[in-house]
């Protein structure tokens, strides 16, 4: 007898499969992809490569073991797959034959980070980016210190960008380009100057590599000053290609070698993310660039948030058609992310996928006859799909995998209801409501408002385990895209430039009132939570209204003055976003700080923060906690240990992710149920 579906719980996160990085084989018969999972006993994430036939066969595990196997890339002849794995003492590049056999170690790099694998057109070399770990942090040095009872040496800091959330502190290490010979394993470092170089792309003849680099006087303080550069594939003098600096990523050569496509914008002073990335092509001969999505008014790339997606927000897949006439790319639009194509010669881009979906990444076969897509939705964590590229504007993607089939069959999930509501000035705002699985329209439910971070990202049609979990515990969950969000045009995104707080709060409360007016929410049992910028807005909300009876602020910003010097990215004080540096007008930054309104906070507040958070350092939470304790308000402070970074809710240690979910619901239950 088949068991009835049950409500989702926190521990269901531990049994999910997270699918990503679909890579279609050159002949179009197989898709390699990454499947990631959690081992609860080891409290770790592991991932392996899988293969699925495009003719509808069952997917199968291709690599095995408790490792982190990622970034699969097919060789040009389709006989081998290169990937990154930690199956040795450190992350290295590995090769595995497709027709059977063991994976072989290709590189012997120092401990560090590897990225941007790219096969040479003839299949003899692989280009990649590498950044070594600081010497003091490497395993051999750590063990020697312990044996000799030495302290960790002092850090000497000379760069503004001396640390990075999720990675930690660095010394003088930079991202540099290397190539490695597939047959011999011989490595050749191509760049070595004091700059970060990444995203290598081979020219069709294999003689040149294009890459992205910020070679301005102080790139840490001018992160928007990137350019495309060219270097001979065997090494030599670099040449700047682009004439106008800006944000750039993912260069890809046209099949004829005449142009390079990339994703970005031409506003080097715009570093906060208000300006939408566009699709560009630049002439290799003269460096003249053309914007192919000038009139789109939507961001190119994947900008939808989720807590189970393996795709980075802002990631941007980009592929040329084999004849060089078209380009395929992603666009984020009103809560969804879709596949688009654009003609090289210009014209209006065409959307190739439809519906309330989240396309996270894609790839193509050698002839761009088919496309493999990673697609998820609000009730689907994400799987591999296949789409015909020849008639893609008329085709529907066919599903190739369903790795969470058994997981979903056990659960009663709630399908979010899309809503549009009017805010204070008549502007339409998009949002979604998740109701309890056993929703009774005649009951009155407590409501939890979820506020997204960024601020320039979007909520939408991506799976959120957290939202489903809260709904299963008897809450109506509301999540919206207020002003400042991506996906509604640059004017909408830029509406909060330098004026954080009030515009968004009006939009958010209009959404709350809209749901209350539906008749099934108890207006006296309202909760609010959010992380990062969503934590800022949670703090701002409880400092400006007493309508919420419980709040949970996570990895939040409280004091804009201290945040300006403690965040790992040097953004606050940028005069294109905020009108002055902190020391020039501290009054402005204090006015924008939720801490300045702390005396108004009467809502019971739970503060969640991680000691390893370098994006919004824990001192932000500390200041708010002490202020509320001195004011004798109801407050609790949970400090997660150093192994938890800013992304605790998405990629933190599994046991701490569960602890976080339990604490949120316990706090809400205490005050709202």
Q: Which residues contact 127 (CB under 8 A, 6 or more apart)?
A: 116, 117, 118, 120, 177, 178, 179, 190, 200, 202, 209, 233
Structure tokens at 61: 């595990």
- Which of 116, 139, 280, 121 is closest to 199 using CA atoms? 116
Closest CA to 310 of 248, 370, 358: 358
> In which region does residue 454 sit, left (phi positive, over 0), alpha (psi from -120 to 50) or beta (all else)?
left
Active-site residue, selected from the candidate residues 176, 302, 646, 671? 646
Taking residue 236's Cβ as centre, other Cβ atoms within 10 Å add up to 11
Contact (CB, 8 A) for 550 and 527: yes
User: Do strands 278-283 and 259-265 pair parallel, antiparallel, or not at all (unpaired)?
Assistant: antiparallel
Q: State the Cα–Cα distance between residues 555 and 531, nearest whole angstrom.
A: 6
Long-range contact list for 581-587, CB < 8 A, 24+ apart? 586/561
Tokens of 517: 């007016």
Active site residue 75: no
Tokens of 409: 């069959």
Residue 514 corresponds to which tokens in the numbers above?
A: 């809209």
Query: What does the alpha-carbon distance between residue 59 and residue 672 come to, in Å, rounded to a whole number?
Result: 45
8 Å CB contact between 74 and 27: no
Q: Is 37 helix (H, G, I), strand (E, B) or coil?
A: strand
Structure tokens at 200: 């290598």
Q: Measured between alpha carbons, how far is 137 from 144 in angstroms, rounded to an integer?
A: 11
- Give the burial class of 646: count Cβ atoms within 10 A of its Cβ; 0-12 exposed, 13-18 middle, 19 or more buried: buried
- Does residue 646 have an active-site annotation? yes
* Distance in angstroms (rounded) separating the CA atoms of residues 360 and 74: 20
DSSP 217-229: TTTTT-TT-BEEE
Hey, how many other C-beta atoms are within 10 angstroms of the C-beta on 441? 8
- Tokens linked to 658: 């569960």
Among left, alpha and beta (phi > 0; psi -120 to 50; other), residue 56 is left
Q: Among 307, 302, 313, 306, which residue's Cα sits nearest to residue 339?
A: 302
From 25, 116, 532, 562, the catalytic residue: 532
Q: Give the span between the Cα atoms of 218 and 243, in whole angstroms.
A: 19
Closest C-alpha among 537, 460, 481, 451 to residue 306:
460
Strand partners, 180: 126, 187
Distance CA 242, CA 287 (A): 5
Q: What tokens appear for 665 in the block?
A: 């619901």
Tokens coding 7: 């409500």
Residue of 527, 539, 555 lying closest to 649 (CA atoms)? 555
- Which residues have CB under 8 Å from 466's CB, separation 6+? 307, 450, 649, 661, 664
Active site residues: 532, 646
């Amino acid at each position: 007898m088949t068991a009835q579906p049950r409500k989702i719980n926190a521990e269901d996160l531990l049994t999910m499969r997270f699918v990503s990085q679909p890579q279609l084989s050159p002949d179009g018969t197989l898709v390699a992809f990454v499947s990631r999972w959690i081992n609860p006993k080891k409290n770790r994430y592991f991932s392996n490569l899988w293969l699925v036939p495009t003719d509808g066969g069952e997917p199968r595990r291709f690599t095995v073991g408790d490792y982190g196997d990622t970034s699969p890339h097919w060789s040009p002849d389709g006989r081998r797959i290169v990937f990154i794995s930690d199956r040795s003492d450190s992350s290295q590049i590995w090769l595995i034959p497709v027709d059977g056999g063991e994976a072989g170690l290709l590189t012997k790099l120092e401990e560090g980070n590897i990225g941007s694998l790219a096969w040479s057109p003839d299949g003899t070399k692989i280009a990649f980016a590498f950044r070594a770990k600081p010497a003091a942090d490497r395993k051999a040095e750590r063990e020697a210190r312990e044996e000799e009872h030495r302290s960790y040496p002092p850090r000497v800091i000379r760069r503004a960008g001396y640390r990075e959330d999720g990675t930690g502190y660095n010394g003088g290490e930079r991202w540099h380009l290397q190539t490695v010979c597939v047959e011999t394993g011989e490595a050749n470092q191509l760049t070595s100057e004091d700059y970060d170089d990444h995203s290598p792309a081979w020219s069709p003849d294999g003689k040149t590599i294009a890459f992205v680099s910020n070679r301005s006087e102080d790139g840490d303080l001018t992160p928007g000053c990137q350019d495309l550069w060219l270097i001979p594939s065997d090494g030599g003098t670099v040449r700047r290609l682009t004439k106008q600096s800006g944000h750039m990523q993912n260069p890809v050569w046209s099949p004829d070698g005449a142009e390079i496509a990339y994703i970005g914008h031409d506003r080097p002073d715009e570093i906060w993310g208000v300006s939408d990335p566009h699709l560009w092509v630049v002439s290799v001969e003269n460096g003249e660039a053309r914007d192919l999505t000038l009139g789109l008014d939507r961001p190119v790339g994947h900008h939808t948030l989720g807590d189970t997606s393996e795709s980075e927000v802002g990631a941007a897949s980009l592929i040329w058609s084999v004849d060089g006439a078209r380009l395929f790319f992603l666009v984020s639009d009103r809560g969804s992310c879709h596949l688009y194509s654009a003609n090289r010669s210009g014209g209006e881009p065409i959307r190739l996928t439809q519906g309330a979906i989240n396309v996270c990444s894609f790839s193509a076969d050698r002839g761009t006859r088919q496309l493999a897509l990673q697609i998820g939705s609000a009730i689907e964590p994400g799987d591999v799909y296949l789409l015909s590229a020849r008639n893609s504007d008329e085709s529907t993607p066919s599903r190739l995998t369903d790795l969470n089939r058994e997981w979903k069959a056990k659960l009663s999930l709630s399908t979010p209801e899309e809503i549009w509501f009017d805010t204070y000035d008549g502007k339409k705002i998009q949002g979604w409501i998740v109701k309890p699985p056993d929703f009774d329209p005649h009951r009155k439910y407590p409501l939890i408002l979820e506020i997204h971070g960024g601020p320039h990202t979007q909520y939408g049609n991506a799976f959120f385990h957290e939202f489903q979990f809260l709904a299963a515990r008897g809450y109506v969950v509301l999540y919206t895209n207020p002003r400042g969000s991506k996906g509604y045009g640059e004017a909408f995104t830029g509406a909060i430039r330098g004026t954080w707080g009030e515009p968004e709060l009006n939009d958010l409360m209009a959404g709350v009132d809209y749901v209350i007016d539906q008749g099934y929410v108890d207006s006296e049992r309202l909760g609010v939570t959010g992380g990062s910028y969503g934590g800022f807005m949670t703090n701002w909300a409880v400092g400006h209204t007493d309508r919420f009876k419980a709040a949970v602020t996570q990895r939040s910003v409280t004091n804009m003055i201290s945040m300006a010097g403690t965040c790992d990215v040097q953004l606050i004080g940028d005069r294109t976003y905020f009108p002055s540096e902190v020391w020039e007008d501290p009054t402005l930054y204090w006015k924008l700080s939720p801490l300045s309104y702390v005396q108004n906070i009467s809502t019971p507040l739970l503060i969640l923060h991680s000691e390893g958070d370098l994006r919004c350092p824990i001192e932000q939470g500390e200041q708010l906690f002490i202020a509320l304790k001195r004011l004798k308000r109801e407050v609790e402070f949970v400090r997660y240990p150093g192994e938890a970074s800013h992304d605790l809710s998405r990629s933190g240690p599994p046991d701490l992710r569960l602890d976080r979910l339990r604490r949120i619901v316990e706090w809400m239950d205490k005050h709202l149920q």
